[in-house]
Structure 1
Amino acid sequence: MPSARALPRDVSRLDELAAEFSKVERALGDPAALADPREYARLTRRHRELLPLVTLLRERDGLEADLAGARELLADPDMLDLAAGEVQALEARLAEIESELVVLLLPTDPDDAKDVILELRAGAGGAEAGLFVMDLLRMYTRYAEGLGLKVAVLDASESDLGGASKVVAEITGDGAFRAFKWERGVHRVQRVPATESQGRIHTSTVTVAVLPEADTAEVQLDLSEVRIDVFRSQGAGGQGVNTTDSAVRAVYRPGTPDEIMVVCQDGRSQIKNREKALQVLAARLAERERIAREERERSDRAAQVGSGDRSEKIRTYNYPQNRVTDHRLEGEGKNHPLDSVIAGALGPVVANLARAQRELQLIQMGEEGQHGAA
């Protein structure tokens, strides 16, 4: 990782964030904030985001005062050795804090705290791809549960042998998008299918889309452009699920190239299913705009790194070698034991991806600083 101490210290930005933290703390104590659940949730989330940085700033201020006192003791021959050791320890910790502050000042994804719409679609490989859809769903469910997140399947198109051609799920909880955003793309599996009599290894693919749930302020969904159909729910779902027209199909701009279709049949209530279908539709529209925006930005840049969109192969699950390889990483950090990952232990993979992103951001900051100095 590039040296954080080689980067300029953004004192004004730190002061602004510290002042914002104090303002948020005061607002949280205001009865008006408690009366507005949406505003209170926003303030609580921002307080949680700023707390690590403010904690470091307070520790740094205390250490700098201690360092000044220790340096004064260097003039006392009787205290020289003790003071020298203390100065060295304090300077080392201050250097660590400086590095940590640089990382905390890196740009963050504004969607990180949002809930997620997760879409899994079978690609190449026929029935085997459908089986892997369900394997990935189980993997993601265990991963989410380990993080204290909740998973609810909104729609599933089940196929033969226990697979599914498509699954749409909602993942809720603080930091859901931060945990799952790395998963969007094409996942490739290499293994011997249960139906393969010759023991040959087959390669199949599943496409994963991770959509941060869209705020109503972000996406203005014109209901005049949406056709709502209701029909009888299919599949398991509890007593009465097949006796009422509770399932909802929402179709955006039907019959046009812009058409998007969303089905929700998880709940018994038609009203709830309609609400969820429109929520997923808004997220899909926001994702479409994100991809279009990235395409526009890509055309404006001479050199381009991967955007992590759906068209890119991001990971291979090799069953014969018990290995998962993430193609966005380099060196040993790209390989992980398959049995552990498929059981839901995605944490180490995500940590390596987040670390690689921070290193890239630090490099870009350093280059921008050099260009500015020039």
Structure 2
Amino acid sequence: MIDHNNSASSSPSTEPLSWFLMAPSWQIAHHYHPPGSMPPAAVLSNFVRGLQSWLIRFLREGHNPFIHRRLYTETTRPRCMQDAFATVALSQGATPDNEHLVDAASSTYLSDLLATAPPMTTREHLARTQAFLVHLLLSLFSPFIPRRAQAEGLISTLRVWTPELWDSAVLYATAIRAGALPAAGDAIATSDDEVDGEHDPAHRLYRAFVLSESVRRTFLLTSFATGVYGTLKAAWSETCGGDVCVTARAVLWDAESAARWEAVARAGDPLCLHSLHGFSLVERGVPAAEVDEFLRLLFTVMWGLGKVERWVVSAQGIPCRSCFEAWLSLGYLHVYAAGFERDCA
């Protein structure tokens, strides 16, 4: 929800910081054409390992490639996200001997989530959808059959929630673009908040980016993860909930402050594009190390591991330090250990 009693008109000075609010960036594209054959098992297994590593990172660091580090704080983390965090912790300690206890606790958290009142703000929509996604990622790819069976029956509910989240975010972006300030329920607290922070257009846009980009990634990951699960379970899925734009430049998502984010955003192209147009980054010569980890993992499913590997090591055939770390983030600990000492130009 947006508070229209307080407004801040946009200006030319903030235009380079507003790419994620523009109407075209919120269009859901249905340009998907399934390949003739399903991805190899190694590709799908690598994708699942990547998702599982993101959940562990959320447990250890409080954020990951689809949950922004500034989206929630210790004092503003919603109950549903606290429960999702607890479920990840429980799952890490699951064994054949205690799985029934883990299942019972996880089911209670999930039941509480499903019983909550309908969300009123975009941030509330996002929190419940991210919490639901975390629960399903844990369960769909769990070694325990009862958890998988329960989660499979809830995929359709998640696919209802994500369009509702998207519709709420579109209204949010439209109002922010028109100059309105977010209502209290959609406010994002950042580490560099100051007394005059609320009156700084760039600061407000950074917080709007945190919320908007988190929505985009949650929407897209829901489509990919449930599609990969269906493929592993039965046959290559030819359904698609629609493709959406994501900001590909890694340093924008990784920026820990509004000042850093603003400096990077003003310095160049944010690389905001639909995920299925991602190969244009390779064609434009954008190094893999400059592209966000979130998209790099999705690209392994869309392009295959070979194309992504060639992209990562394309600079003179020897991976730079950043490129090597980018490849490690995909789970390939055995690939191209040589040349680690070279830095990007």
* TM-score, structure 2 normalization: 0.25
Query: Which structure has the greater CA radius of gyration?
Result: 1
More helix by share: 2
* TM-score, structure 1 normalization: 0.23
